[in-house]
Amino acid sequence: MFESIGLIEILVIIGVLLVSMSVHEAMHAFTGLKLGDDTAAEEGRVSLNPLKHIDPFLTIILPIITIVLFQAPILAAKPVPFNPERVKYDEFGAALIAAAGPISNFVLAAIGAGLLAVLNPVGLFAYILTIFIFLNVLLFVFNLLPIPPLDGSRVLYAFSPEPVQRFLAAIEPFGFFIVIGLAVSGVLFPIVSTLRDSVLQLLL
């Protein structure tokens, strides 16, 4: 989808990523606040302002590196902090906080798909909606992978037996390197692409 793109297309992609990322992170923080933990709120993370969520390495430098290496961006926002001792429902509360981000991206993609079907737009608006749907589905699928520190690992942790929880806790410090390793090995992108296409087919 991103082959031979021009300046307008690049600006659209950046704009959509900033909006989608900001909603994703704000929903993590908002859900944490509703579950009794104001840690993220105190840092101003219940906000749609992208500047509150940008991490210099994860959001800017990392995608540049991965585009050069893999012809596909891997990026993340600044992690949203939370205090598990303050969160209601213990591990399940933490899972709700984690799931809130990807679910928000799915909802955004569904709204975009609805607008695409109802309005049947053409030109630049059609392109913006298509990219909006595509990238939000991508964020939804990628973040739900059960690999620490991705959101899916926190959801898996809450519903797993103790041996699996111990395993997830043990590999969490190396999660970033596991994701990069899966990308380098060629395993990551086919999995993400297959899941992405399944969700897109559902929505469109």
Q: How far apart are CA 203 and CA 109, in angstroms?
A: 8
On the 0-12 / 13-18 / 19+ scale of CB atoms within 10 A, 190 is exposed
* Alpha helix positions (H), the chain: 7-34, 39-42, 62-70, 90-119, 123-143, 151-158, 162-171, 175-185, 188-203
Residue 3 bears catalytic tag: no
Q: Out of 3, 25, 42, 91, which one is annotated catalytic? A: 25
Peptide bond before residue 149 is cis, with ω within 30 degrees of 0: yes
Q: Which residue has the tokens 């695409």?
A: 116
Residues in CB range of 130: below 8 A, 6 or more apart: 116
C-beta neighbour count of 72 within 10 angstroms? 15
The catalytic residue positions are: 25
